Amino acid sequence: MHRQTESPIPMTSKTRIIVSSDHADIPMRRSIAAHIEAKGFEVEDIGPTTNESTNYPTHGEAAARKVASGDC
């Protein structure tokens, strides 16, 4: 028998998708975000916002933390 347990992380009732990238893929990320929004989902774009060189794992970690927290 499969026993369903309550998640220790509160889940949101919103259908929200977090998007992020490194500095090299800002136009592609924005295009993907627009496509997702056109499909009826809420998108939170957490950057980066400039083409200044960034450390992509930092942005990936920020996105993962939002998901893990139940914020999306």
Delimit the domains of the chain by residue range: 16-69
CB neighbour class for 36 (10 Å; exposed up to 12, middle 13-18, buried from 19): middle
- Alpha helical stretches, state H, 1-72: 26-38, 56-69
Cβ neighbours of residue 49 under 8 Å, at least 6 residues apart? 26
Say which residue, 11 or 44, is predicted with more confidence: 44
- Residue range 3-35, pLDDT digits in tens: 555 555 555 565 889 999 988 889 999 999 999
| Number of helical H runs and strand E runs in the chain | 2, 2
% pLDDT > 90, the chain? 43
Alpha carbons 61 and 25: distance in angstroms, whole number: 17
- Tokens 């950057």, located at residue: 47
